[in-house]
Amino acid sequence: MGIWSFYFLAKLYLYFRGYIQFDFFLNFLFVIYLVVPVPSSWHSVRSWTAGKQVLGVVLAILLLWRDSWLPPLWNSFLFVWQGGMPQKEYVYRFVQGFFSLREVTVLLIILAVVLMIRNRVRLTPVVMLLLFIVPLQQMGENKGTMDNEVDRFYKTEKARVVGMESVHTTGSDFDIVFLHVCSLSWDDLKGIGDEGDRFLKQMDYLFTDFNSVTSYSNPSAIRLLRSDCGQSRHDDLYNDAARNCYLFDVLRDQGYQTYFTLNHDGAYGNFAGQVRAEGHLDKPILPTDEPIRAYDFDGSAIYDDYAVLENWWKVRQTSGVRKAALYYNTISLHDGAHWADDRVWWKKDRMVQYRESVQKLFESLTRFINLAASSGRRVVIFFVPEHGMALRGTMLQAPGLRDIPLPQITMIPVGIKLVGPGLTRDASRQIVVRRPASYLALAYLIHSFLDQDPFASSSPSPAARISDLPQTAFVSENQGVRIVKEGSDYFLYGKDKKWIMLSPRMLM
């Protein structure tokens, strides 16, 4: 096979390291294709041989992509086609972070060895021998099947509904604000050493085991906005649900004036349009005169968080409505977002840049919380990240890739802050919710707040409110890929339509 030996030796190395999968049957067929020569009796043998080599390169690339943890090639093409190409600076930085210097060095050593010995040692038998180790090794893998468990999970979730129709609001009026933040997970905070940030410490309730379920913006927003019902399958997000599943419809029924605003144009992935339709939101209030603080990876403007929220607050204050509910979406932490005046952002350390963005966002949101508190209004503020950024990456996915909804990406810090007159609880005591939870738990707390005024002197204690908080087992998914937690183990169902138990090393 000559230099083709390097292709298989490199793939075998990456496979045994856990960086790729390895379809033994297809790779074996490719070996046969390469070793069987073009018959000498064929006309234009050289042309046929050259054509075979060109086709071999194409097949090698397709096979490598299939063996990788990357999404199917066609899905990737559609993603770029529909969303548009990012800026070249973003692509440059992404490619930089995609490769491990250590692994590239090892691959170069393998290549050097192959080049030195290929004329003295027949490498084809060596490759074939190593190739047959793969099925033996795969026989020892714990693949199993989680289909029955997943079916039971969704059957149970389908029956779970937070019944807002039983609410009898008799207490004080209070506003509800959802701050939906793109790209922030516990793992991201750990990566920048900010797990104990003052912003999270000021929350009255803090969820430490909250699953965002998905690792993309649109489905995350839809899941939050349908939080009154249990977790649904990914494909069902784009089908109509029962009216009592839609959080903002329920709030309207409770007398709330609802709003939708964001710190971007909402055009990428048709975010604003799709979320409005599938989540039953109002027409968005798009930023216009607010300062542009940053630009996203595609060059679109990102407006100052505090300025956008302050503008909405002015609208709310002058509206005359008794109580208002806001869904606010921010992409200030999105991968590739960079300060408006930074022309060499793509050369800077990714961790440092992200830390600066997190600190600025927390500062802006704290200012908004203080603004709401100083107004004398009663407000319940929900801080909910959409998903993580995948800042550090894992063996399965390079930094920034989120196709596989690993726990490092979907385990997010969720906080609830109450401000306004009438609070009688100990403001210094934070209730930490450590049980596995997801969006239904937020709907449950909203139901509890509406039913038993949290600002009244007779209000139940925060600890009492969470005593019956619904728990949700860990099942995360994007289109065509799913992660399930069973005990302390995580199982992946991906593009090869098989269940694979992920070793701890794969999650690092």
Mean pLDDT for the chain overall: 92
CB–CB of 338/345 below 8 Å? yes
Residue type, 237: L
Q: Average pLDDT for residues 186-199, to the nearest whole number?
A: 88
According to CATH, what is the number of the domain 165-474? Answer: 3.40.720.10
For 293-452, where are the alpha helices, taking DSSP H only?
305-319, 350-374, 407-410, 439-451
CB–CB of 466/457 below 8 Å? no
Residue 165 banded pLDDT, cuts 50, 70, 90? low
Range with lowest mean pLDDT among 9-18, 79-88, 116-125, 285-294:
79-88
* Beta-bridge partners for 418: 380
Residue 98 banded pLDDT, cuts 50, 70, 90? confident
Rounded to the nearest 10°, the torsion over CA 401, 220, 335, 396 is: -20
Where in the chain is CATH 3.40.720.10? 165-474
Residue 144 banded pLDDT, cuts 50, 70, 90? low
Residue 169 banded pLDDT, cuts 50, 70, 90? low
CB–CB of 437/242 below 8 Å? no
CB–CB of 326/177 below 8 Å? yes
CA 276 to CA 284: how far, in whole Å? 8
Nearest partner of 166 among 462, 467, 454, 448, judged by Cα: 448
CB–CB of 22/67 below 8 Å? yes
Residue 168 has pLDDT above 80, yes or no: no
Percent residues over pLDDT 90 in the chain: 75
Angle between helical axes of 101-117 and 4-17 (0-180°, round to 10)? 140
- For β-strands 205-211 and 292-295, DSSP reports them as unpaired
Residue 487 has pLDDT above 60, yes or no: yes
Residue 181 has pLDDT above 70, yes or no: yes
Q: Is the CA virtual torsion 89, 91, 95, 98 positive or negative? A: positive
Q: Average pLDDT for residues 347-366, to the nearest whole number?
A: 95
CA 370 to CA 372: how far, in whole Å? 5
Percent residues over pLDDT 70 in the chain: 94
Residue type, 132: F
Secondary structure, 3-state, 184-220: CCHHHHHHCCCCCCHHHHCCCEEEEEEECCCCCHHHH
Nearest partner of 138 among 25, 245, 221, 7, judged by Cα: 25
Q: Average pLDDT for residues 395-417, to the nearest whole number?
A: 96
42 or 34: whose pLDDT is higher? Answer: 34
Residue 79 banded pLDDT, cuts 50, 70, 90? confident
CA 417 to CA 362: how far, in whole Å? 14
For residue 108, what pLDDT is reported? 96
Rounded to the nearest 10°, the torsion over CA 191, 478, 333, 471 is: -70
- For β-strands 411-419 and 257-262, DSSP reports them as unpaired
Range with lowest mean pLDDT among 382-386, 435-439, 499-503:
499-503
Residue 38 has pLDDT above 80, yes or no: no
- The predicted-structure confidence for 44-64, as pLDDT tens digits, reads as follows 777 877 888 999 999 999 999
Residue 340 banded pLDDT, cuts 50, 70, 90? very high
Residue 476 has pLDDT above 60, yes or no: yes
Phi, then psi, of 122 in degrees rounded to 5: -75, 110
For residue 257, what pLDDT is reported? 98
CB count within 10 Å of CB 300 equals 17
For residue 118, what pLDDT is reported? 85
Residue 78 banded pLDDT, cuts 50, 70, 90? confident
Residue 295 has pLDDT above 80, yes or no: yes
457 or 261: whose pLDDT is higher? Answer: 261
Q: Average pLDDT for residues 28-37, to the nearest whole number?
A: 92
Q: Assign residue 267 a region (left: φ > 0; alpha: ψ between -120 and 50; beta: otherwise).
A: alpha
59 or 167: whose pLDDT is higher? Answer: 59
